[in-house]
Structures are given as C-alpha cells and as structure tokens.
A and B are shown apart, each in its own frame.
Chain A
C-alpha cells in the first residue's frame, strides 16, 4: 500500500520520495507503520484517511485506504 508524505515528511523517506510503499497483508496501526519506516510521529501534524481527518495514534489502516500525512507548515 502507499502513504503520501506531505509537507517536509518525505525528508525521512530513504529516497526522499513523496510516497511510502509497503506490504500490508492485514490491518495495521498507522503509528506502528510510521515507526518502522523511521517517520517521527512528532512531525506528523495532519492525518487524512479516505478524505477524513483522523487521529494518528488510534488509526488502523488497511490495503484499500487512501492515506495522506502532512507536517505542520506555516509562513510563506
């Protein structure tokens, strides 16, 4: 499955890619997936699953979910 890393979160992707891809054979805790991928949870400001804002800590994700994460942004 794929997770979109918005804002500066793709900084933590090994290839600086905006998409984090991984196998999900069963529902998983989003925070656990990010921990394993080396994305600091403290830098995730906004979690959107299938178009709805949600809570990072409580979210369980499945293969068919559309997942977007964003860091805090400001100024400009």
Chain B
C-alpha cells in the first residue's frame, strides 16, 4: 500500500498486551486515517453507554493519510474516545511534530484499551514498543515531564504527547499536548488518558513519508510551491505575520468578539489585548508545525522570561481575556501558560471561569463559595488563580472542573442560563449572532460546540473574494450573507462540512485547503493521488468526509442523542448588549427551519437525527445501520 504504513498499535493497559495490526488497503481506502479510522474503531469496539472515565472507554490516536507528507499544513492527527464532557463521540485534533514522528516510526494509529494499575507511559521507536513506569512523572507539570522522558531515554529529539495534572485529576476538559505547544484541547481527551493512568506517549522514528508515497517527487514539488506561496498569498502571509491573535481586533470591530460570557460583542479594553500589544509585550519568535511554511505558532515571554510553552492563540485570548472581561495581556499569557503546564483546554477553562463570574455577579456564587475570591468580571488576578484551582480541583475549582453544564445543575436557580454550551461542551470564541453558519456548526456538531465545522461565513460572502473563488470547484457559486440561513446556505453548509471532515481524515489543517486561499481543491486531490495509487476525485474525498461525520452521528444516536440536542444556548437567541451588532439575536425560527433543510440534505431522520439506513448504505456504512437494528 502506498501513502500509509498500514500498521496500528493496539495496547491493552489492563493486561499490558501490545499487538501490531496490519490494515488492508481495501479497508484503509474507506477509512484512511484520522476521524474516519477513529470513528470505525469506536463504533465497532466499544459498547454503548460506557462510563467515559472507565476502562471500557477506547482511546484512539490516529494520523491522517497525509500526516507527515512534505506539504504545508499536512500535520494533523486526531485523538478520539467517548467524551467525559459530553458523553458523546469525542475528538480533538492537533498539529505539531508528534503525528509525523509516529508515521516515521512506522505507525498510523494507537488504540488504547483498559486501565493500567499504576501510572505508565508508552515508548514507541522504530520496531520497539514498550510500556514504562510513570510513577516519577505523575503530578508533575508538562515541561518537567517532557524533559524527564527525553533525559531518561537519552534523546532530546523524542516527541512527547502527554496529559498534565489536570488530566490526572480527571478535569472533564483536560487536554493533551505535544511538544508543549500543540494541543488536542477539546472534549476532555486528556481526562480519558488520565483515567487509564496513561501519562504520555513518546515517539521517535526515522522513515520519512517520501518513502511511503507513490510519487514523492510530486509531493516535494508541491511542498516547495506552497513554501513560496506563503509570501504571495494574503491569508497565509497574514497567519505568518500575526497568527490567530490577529483576529482580536477585526472581530471586536465587527461586534463579534465574545465579551463577558457572550453578553456583549465588543470589549472596551480591546486595545490592551490586540495583536500589536501581544507583539510588543510578549512575542519572542515564530514557529511552525512539521514541514509547514506558514509558521503561525508563537513563542513568548511570561513575567519577562522565555516561556517553555507556546504563546496564546486567539481562542485563548478571547476565552480568558475579553470573555472574562480581562484586558491584561500579561494575565492572559500567565493563564495560558498555566493551562499548558497543567494541560487544560483553554476554551472550556475560560468559559467555565466566565460562567462562574456571571454567577458571582448575580449572587448565585458568593465569597463563601469562592473562599473569599472576588469573581467579578474583569478581575485578572482571580482569573489566573481559577486556572490553577480548576486543574488541581481546589475549592470552587472542583465544581468548575466538571464543565459549565454540570456546574450549573449543581448551583441551580438561573445558573443554567449562564452555562453556554452545546451537548455539554463550552462555546468557542466565535459569535454566532454575527456568523449564522458558525452557529449551525455549534448546534449540529457531534462533539458539542465546535468552531471548526465549516468555513466561517465571511469567507463566502463576497463573490469577488479569493476564498469564494476557490470554493467554486465545490459547487459554491452564489455568495451568501453572513446573517442568513436560507436553503442555498444550508446546501453550502452541507458541502463545506464534508470538506472539513475529510481534512480531519487525511490530516490537513483547517488553515490550508480551500475555501481558504492557500491550497486549492485540485491540489488537495493531487496530493492524495501522489501519495497513493487510488486515483481519487474531489467527490471521492467529499464522500470520505461524509462517511466520517455519519459514523460519529451513529455513535451519538446510540448514546441517546437526538435532534433536541442540536440546539444553541438560550443566550444566543437573545440580543447582543453591545458592539456593532448590538440588538442582534440568532433567529430561532429560521434556525429550526434550516435544521430541517440540513437534515434532509444529510439524509438524517427529522426526529431522531440519526442517519437513515439508505444514506448509511450509500456511504458503504450498512454495517453501522446493522448496529442499530
């Protein structure tokens, strides 16, 4: 088989058994890595309704088909399991170097079952796989653990994927990091690893992707073309220049910067947290993921010293900054560092703190509940303190570590109104009242509120815009208003979701392929065909994406999820209090109608939200329909 090692590692932590499985090409072509491979394994190997923090949960870490190819943005791998935050299908993606290193070690994925009786880490290198004691690592921050593992194994080039103390403490939104600066942040995958007493997976490999590819020269040429294109492409150039922190000011000006737990759309102290301040106060260097020429990652100093961790992305600046009413870039940098040292998802952490702040403002939490900490919006010191308390489950942090849905249920009263989540996962930092398709993505996503379901509305609102022109091969030929949920926009949503989904299968980053302007659709198809001898078309890739989404949807149906769960928090159906979109609400009636249209396009039952047998069979997923009989 070209393009893939075809091998996955299966680890049973209860028995310490390690087995290598060889995948057939026939199978891999239907489920070529990432979200598709993970979805297949979870559906087939985990019974319904298991406790996500029990040994019965199955954890899959899976590279995409192209992960590690010498092409910009093809670096992604996925971690998937039943989520302890949502009790639904869980997944979280990351870039960096770990996924490519696993491929270079000869493996596409690692499937972890059971629970180790004591803390362990997995060590994978060319031809050798072993479980090692992690007793001495347990309780330590992530930077210390990375150094300890590298020293113990005698190789500073080892790539370390790991949880932190937050995962050990089963914080329901604990994440996973690799190289201390790339994150599988969402959905509590770190808590799943923690529940299995698996602290880390260290990898080292030597076989480059070019040796796997059918036509390595084409991939290398494409990589060189994309490297040059960064300087010629406005979106890629801008990502290199400012990275995601450059979003703060445009979103604030547009009235869609989440502020004070989504009450407002603009932040009066935005000038203290925008890119120019980040650049002058924090920035020390720019970094990249494996073979990616964009270099959108940031190195920073914290408290005047170089940080061992990466700098905050936009999501973190929003969630721990404006969303908490905090206009202090140094406090945000400190809180970001703590999130990374303890390994918390910074989005859910910020949203849990802003939830607590709003409860405090309304008297639902008092100084007695907070051990004397003033939790009013804007208290930067309290915000930083809460990050550590959540990770260590200290004081009120123990409650907030459960996520806003569970915390609101315990607090009672109107607290549920301040708990902004979908299916239990806290909202990311994009305001649906100014981007209707982003709102639909939050509602319909199988993992709960997620901002990476479809290209954001503004990209396709202007017929003269570069992204719109790049979307034409997808059959998107009519620009749509950002504030619309009409039938054509739902048709576009249906297509765009398939694109994002296949990116999660084959390993491309959201910032690479069309409709963003950096990598064109025909180049994506060409890259798959250079890696393999499959001779795929764009339609074939879209089907791969749709297949992956539908497996996750079947998983959720089996767990009891239905159409009623595809909704948005009440706050979003209420008017924004400030900013350029002051008074705008997400349109409830239009949303319900649009959901009906979208279900129809997707071939999903209008009441249960489950894919019909007919649609599943059309996607070669008849076996999934059989699981439901």
Contacts and interface: CB of A to CB of B under 8 A. Distances in A.
Interface of A: 6-9, 11-12, 16, 40-43, 45-46, 48, 53, 68, 70-76
Given A71-B234, A75-B456, A76-B247, A43 B466 contact: yes
A72 B234 contact: no
A6 to B, nearest CB: 5
B510 A42 contact: no
Contacts of B251: 73
Contact of B459 (A40, A68, A74, A76): A74
Contacts of B451: 75-76
B466 A7 contact: no
B515 to A, nearest CB: 10
B622 interface: no
A8 B247 CA distance: 10
B627 interface: no
Interface string B507-535: 00011000000000000000000000000
B24 to A, nearest CB: 35
Interface of B: 234-235, 237-238, 241, 244, 246-247, 249-251, 253-255, 313-315, 429-430, 435, 438, 451-452, 455-459, 461-468, 510-511, 580
Given A8-B237, A9-B234, A68-B253, 11 more contacts: A7-B250, A8-B234, A8-B235, A43-B462, A45-B461, A53-B580, A71-B250, A72-B461, A73-B250, A74-B456, A76-B451
A74 B238 contact: no
Contacts of A6: 249-250, 253
B465 A75 contact: no
B244 A76 contact: yes
A75 B459 CA distance: 10
Contact of A72 (B255, B314, B429, B462): B462
Given A45-B458, A45-B461, A72-B456, A8 B238 contact: yes
A73 B247 contact: yes
Contacts of A75: 244, 451-452, 456, 510-511
Contacts of A74: 430, 435, 438, 455-459
Given A11-B238, A75-B456, A76-B315, A70 B465 contact: no
A7 B462 contact: no
A72 B253 contact: no
A68 B244 CA distance: 19
A9 B249 CA distance: 13
A46 to B, nearest CB: 5
A74 B437 CA distance: 12
Q: Which of A6, A43, A74, A75 has the most CB of B within 10 A?
A: A74
8 contacts: A41-B464, A42-B465, A42-B468, A46-B253, A70-B254, A74-B438, A76-B247, A76-B451
Contacts, number: 82
Contacts of A70: 250, 253-254
Nearest to A8: B238
Contacts of A41: 464
Nearest to B239: A8
A70 B254 CA distance: 9
A45 B511 CA distance: 19
Contacts of A11: 234, 237-238
Which interface residue of A48, A71, A72 has the most chain B CB atoms within 10 A?
A72
Most chain B CB within a 10 A radius of its CB, from A11, A45, A76: A76
Nearest to A68: B253
A43 B315 CA distance: 24
Given A43-B465, A70-B253, A7 B237 contact: no
B314 A76 contact: yes
Nearest to A53: B580
A31 to B, nearest CB: 12
Nearest to B276: A18
A75 B313 CA distance: 11
Interface-central residue, B244, B253, B254, B451, by most chain A CB under 10 Å:
B253
Contacts of B580: 48, 53
A61 B249 CA distance: 22
Contact of A46 (B254, B463, B464): B254
Contacts of B461: 45, 72
Contacts of B462: 42-43, 45, 72
Contact of A7 (B246, B430, B456): B246
Contacts of B465: 42-43, 45, 72
Contacts of A46: 250, 253-254
A8 B458 CA distance: 13
Given A72-B456, A73-B247, A75-B456, A42 B466 contact: yes
A40 B465 CA distance: 8
A61 to B, nearest CB: 17
B510 to A, nearest CB: 5
